Homo-oligomer: A and B are copies of this chain.
Amino acid sequence: MALGERGGWDKSESRYCGVETDFNDDMPHLLSFNLSSGGFDFVVASLMDPNYRPSLMEKDIGGGSHVLPFAGSDLVLSPSQWSSHVVGKISSWIDLDSEDEILRTDSETTLKQEISWASHLSLQACLLPSPKGASCANYARCVNQILQSLNNMQLWLRIPLVKNDDDTTDFIPSGDSWELWNSFRLLCEHHSQLSVALDVLSSLPSANSLGRWLGEPVRAAIIHTDSFLTNARGYPCLSRRHQKLITGFLNHSIQVVISGKLNHGVPSVSLDSALDHTGTNVESSQRHSLRPYLDYIAYLYQRMDPLPEQERFELSYRDFLQSPLQPLMDNLEAQTYETFEKDSVKYIQYQRAIGNALVDRVPDEEASSLTTVLMVVGAGRGPLVRASLQAAEETGRKLKIYAVEKNPNAVVTLHSLVRLEGWEKTVTIVSCDMRCWDAPEKADILVSELLGSFGDNELSPECLDGAQRFLKQDGISIPSSYTSFIQPVTASKLHNDVKSHKDVVHFETAYVVKVHSVARLAPCEPVFTFTHPNFSTKKSNQRYKKLRFEIPSDTGSAMVHGFAGYFDAMLYKDVHLGIEPSTATPNMFSWFAIFFPLRTPVCIRPGSPLEVHFWRCCGSTKVWYEWCVASPNPSPVHNSNGRSYWVGL
């Protein structure tokens, strides 16, 4: 039973809620108590008697005949019960970085035995106890060894959600538990099966600090009953900040686990049974003492706003890397035109821009005498032709349109559109690449939609440079300018997806991606700007920009896996269009962000800014970007000479 169905939510990824239990060697009872009567979806249960120590066992028994004290044999539950309803909880006493060598070797032996048992049971995940001190190298070395030959089980490293700015505890270096996680995962080299289970405690770090975790592979949030408040009716509830955190987790497919004892005098439950909530001696018909906490989480989940249609449409694209289009080299397919033409918001903006330009160009008194020559360069299947005609009609201006399109397949559709709509007298179709068309006259207005997610990355500058030959000296280009933007992000999922290719090429490629599970570490900075028309004689489309990002001081340190890129375009005067988060045009879906990866993720700390360099380079047959980090530690220059990623001219 999941947290309930919600309209407009993605049903593919249901949200589940589990419960952490103590060791119990009657697994069938444990399961039926917590699932059937408790209503939980799974248990996080100890697999091994917590009193077990390998070093004692050998002394007691000797030889190879003893049986490890696991909670039941594999036969006590069905295979699907084990794998769907049990997360293995590794013995919490283990401490692989202890100074005590016996404890250290006992810990290593036990950890390997328990993981091996959990693999044998095909569990989906095991919960690893939090490192005991600031040093975790030996624990990480051992887990890393295990990861090298693990089946597809996930290992959830338990990390308390703690960041004390002034308190450098012995336990957590710099008082920030993120540092502990970061060391551990670096030692394990960002292994994709190593993830995080966050212990949510009663006090929470700052919002910026919490935000970092959205880019990390958090799989579970363990909420302690201590962290709940009591509402007027005696029921558990969460603080506003906790609520926001939990709904954020649910929105990122993070499972919730309830942990602890009943802490609230919920009317219907007697305290007697509450003390024994993990189910040893409690009647299974009795209500589970932690049920009110589960009910509250389910309430939070069901109360969440349904996803808007656009978001729902984009669900399957979340954090999924796509290669950017090469519209100059390749012809788009009908399916692609179909998708983009549906983006009505975009064409409304174009229509407004064209309308304003027409009015500026032709005074009311000449509206019936003057005909404006408008050229749509890259007309595709005609949406901008339609927008132009509608703008003309709206403003009462006379228009002559040339629709220039290089894709002969789109020209077919364009022809039938013109015939169907009866636009033959106004619209001339030109089946030609704009860069080599010999226009019969010059245009007043040049309209194009050649922008990529990063603005110039689909070579709009080069195309419009080619087309402006047939724009009048005082003519208007729509768009009139565009600027790209980047911001550093934590994006462990994207990093691992890029890494899975095991080559440099993929780390030197930009991807179009609907970024979702990322942490945006600093506001965007502008990168490259292009303005059209540009009649200067020494113009170049090469660009070079040095950028500095400073993360907020309360964030703590954070990992930069790469840069999310966006654009904003001025269509005409104040009519703009874009996806830069702070100014994004609402409800427009034609563009996802772009992602520039870093071959080696860079850890940044508040107070030492991240210095990044971006280049737009142009050759005779291609355009490409190069990028690097110069500070705090220089990275290699990525994509030298466009060796890995380029856009063909």
Contact = CB atoms under 8 A, between A and B. Distances in A.
A199 interface: no
B188 A636 contact: yes
Interface residues of A, number: 36
Contacts of A626: 141, 145
A339 interface: no
A169 to B, nearest CB: 17
A241 interface: no
Given A138-B544, A544-B138, A613-B138, A634 B148 contact: no
B145 A630 contact: no
A318 interface: no
Given A137-B546, A641-B145, A635 B600 contact: no
A635 B187 contact: yes
A494 B148 CA distance: 28
Given A135-B546, A138-B544, A186 B600 contact: no
Interface string A108-149: 000000000000000000000000000101101100110111
- Work out how many copies of this chain go into the complex: 2
9 contacts: A105-B540, A137-B546, A138-B615, A141-B628, A144-B640, A186-B635, A187-B630, A187-B636, A600-B600
A636 B135 CA distance: 15
Given A138-B613, A187-B636, 6 more contacts: A137-B634, A138-B615, A141-B615, A148-B641, A186-B633, A603-B633
Interface in A599-649: 600, 603, 613, 615, 626, 628, 630, 633-637, 640-641, 643
B635 A148 contact: no
A247 interface: no
Nearest to A631: B183
B188 A637 contact: yes
Contact of A137 (B135, B148, B613): B613
Interface in A216-262: none
A272 interface: no
Which of A137, A148, A187 has the largest number of chain B CB atoms within 10 A?
A: A137
B145 A640 contact: yes
Contacts of A641: 145, 148-149
B186 A640 contact: no
Contacts of A60: none
A166 interface: no
A186 B636 contact: yes
A100 interface: no
Interface in A150-189: 182-183, 186-189
Interface of A: 104-105, 135, 137-138, 140-141, 144-145, 147-149, 182-183, 186-189, 540, 544, 546, 600, 603, 613, 615, 626, 628, 630, 633-637, 640-641, 643
A55 to B, nearest CB: 9
Nearest to A186: B634
Which of A540, A613, A633, A640 counts the most chain B CB atoms within 10 A? Answer: A640
Contacts of A633: 186, 603
A530 B544 CA distance: 58
Nearest to A183: B634
A637 B140 contact: yes
Residue from A105, A145, A540 whose CB has the most chain B CB atoms within 10 Å: A145
Given A188-B637, A615-B141, A636-B188, A630 B183 contact: yes
A634 B141 contact: no
A540 B643 CA distance: 51
Contact of A630 (B135, B147, B188): B135
Contacts of A630: 135, 137, 183, 187
B137 A628 contact: yes
Contacts of A140: 637
Contacts of A613: 137-138, 141
A248 B282 CA distance: 81
A546 to B, nearest CB: 7
A141 B187 contact: no
A186 to B, nearest CB: 4
A135 B630 CA distance: 8
Contact of A637 (B182, B187, B640, B643): B187
A600 B105 CA distance: 30
Contacts of A145: 626, 640-641
A285 B274 CA distance: 107
Contact of A643 (B148, B182, B183, B603): B148
Nearest to A603: B633
Contacts of A600: 600
A57 B634 CA distance: 36
A187 B144 contact: no
A182 B643 CA distance: 24
Contacts of A615: 138, 141
Contacts of A188: 636-637
A141 B613 CA distance: 10
A183 B141 CA distance: 31
